[in-house]
Homo-oligomer: A and B are copies of this chain.
């Protein structure tokens, strides 16, 4: 698999309006986009630091994935996303090595990326996203 960098870190927060000022005023990062991803039942806020984005995730529905995560674990890191060259091939390889995939084929994520998740049961507890920007 050809991972190039950490594309983003997804962080579950209760409330974007309360947490954005921490990232901006304390850490000095700039929120460059707020986007709702309706099928994931989240509102997201993006920041960039070096090669990597911070994606804050606020739930818009307690039954959505972030709603359930917050209920169970509270605020904190939700997933890590690696940028990969050749997402489809990476997924086949990963499955062939016995890793459980959440998405067997890529789907559309925030910012127009092609994304797929690996199951944390197979990845030593880290919900792991592989993503590829097909627009570059």
Give residues in A with beta carbon < 8 Å to B: 1-6, 9, 11-14, 18-19, 22, 25-29, 49-52, 73-77, 80, 82-83, 93-94, 97, 99, 120, 122-126
A-B contact pairs, 25 of them (CB 8 A): A1-B26, A1-B27, A1-B28, A3-B49, A5-B49, A5-B51, A6-B9, A6-B49, A9-B9, A11-B124, A13-B125, A26-B99, A49-B82, A50-B51, A50-B52, A50-B83, A51-B51, A51-B52, A52-B52, A73-B73, A75-B124, A75-B126, A76-B125, A77-B77, A77-B126
Given pairs A26-B99, A77-B126, 20 additional interface contacts (CB within 8 A) = A1-B27, A1-B28, A4-B50, A5-B50, A5-B51, A5-B52, A6-B50, A11-B125, A12-B125, A13-B125, A26-B94, A27-B82, A49-B82, A50-B52, A50-B83, A52-B52, A75-B124, A75-B126, A76-B126, A77-B77
